[in-house]
Amino acid sequence: MFAAENGLRGDPRLEAISEAIRVVPHFPKQGIMFQDITTLLLDPKAFKDTVDIFVDRYRDMDISVVAGVEARGFMFGPSIALAIGAKFVPLSKPRKLPGKVISEAYELEYGTDCLEMHIGAVQPGERALVIDDLIATGGTFSAAIRLLERVGAEVVECACVIGLPEVKGQCRLNGKPIYILVEPRGIDNCC
């Protein structure tokens, strides 16, 4: 669900967050409108508002794990985890974590990829939130959910800053809700 449909309609923070995201046409390939959140990170107020909205939503949900998807989930996840009193668990690309890991492969439009997590980072029964910057097809979030559920975690919700409009009609992934702050900006309102 989009934040504007869940009590934040007209909240000026959402517009400021959207405006702080740069759109890079035709990156990394022709036809892609890349939603660059690095410009959001350069705006301390918009970055703080982004984290605050997530913290307000999750503060009272008894979440003990915030799992961030590499790499941009690592930018929001630790701040949210600290603010709600949870631990942060990185879900990384292959061979990025030292020590023993468990893995979950998933399909992409152009091939396959994999997420890994340290063995023992999440305990059975822990309540988890999965965070990333953007949801497009849902493949990465689905893999993250499967990975966490394999170790016995209860995934409460997935969250991201940007969600493609097509996702609006599918409010769940693997039966889990998704919370999205803003829709992507297009070329007509990017510069």
Strand partners, 158: 130, 178
Residue in the structure block whose two tokens are 């982004």: 50
Is the model's pLDDT at 167 over the cut of 80?
Answer: no
Summarize the confidence of residues 1-30 as an average pLDDT.
92
Average pLDDT, the chain: 91
| Contact (CB, 8 A) for 150 and 102 | yes
Cis peptide before 28 (omega within 30 of 0): yes
pLDDT in tens, 24-66: 999 988 988 899 999 999 999 999 999 999 999 999 999 999 9
Decide: pTM greater than 0.85: yes
So what's the pLDDT on residue 166? 66
Residue in the structure block whose two tokens are 């992934």: 173
Say whether 109 is catalytic: yes
Q: Which of 72, 116, 126, 157 is catalytic?
A: 72
SS3 of the chain: helix, strand, coil, percent, to 5: 35, 35, 35
| Contact (CB, 8 A) for 41 and 51 | no
Summarize the confidence of residues 112-118 as an average pLDDT.
95
So what's the pLDDT on residue 136? 82
The 3-class secondary structure across 32-48, one letter per residue, is: CEEEECHHHHCCHHHHH
Confidence band (pLDDT; 50, 70, 90) for 159? very high
Bigger pLDDT: 127 vs 7: 127
Query: Nearest to residue 157, comparing CAs of 167, 165, 145, 149?
Result: 145
- For 53, other C-beta atoms within 10 Å of its C-beta total 21
Query: Nearest to residue 156, comparing CAs of 88, 77, 56, 66?
Result: 66
Say whether 57 is catalytic: no
Pick left, alpha or beta for residue 62 (phi over 0 → left; psi -120 to 50 → alpha; otherwise beta): left
Query: Nearest to residue 71, comparing CAs of 55, 92, 57, 54?
Result: 92
Summarize the confidence of residues 149-169 as an average pLDDT.
86
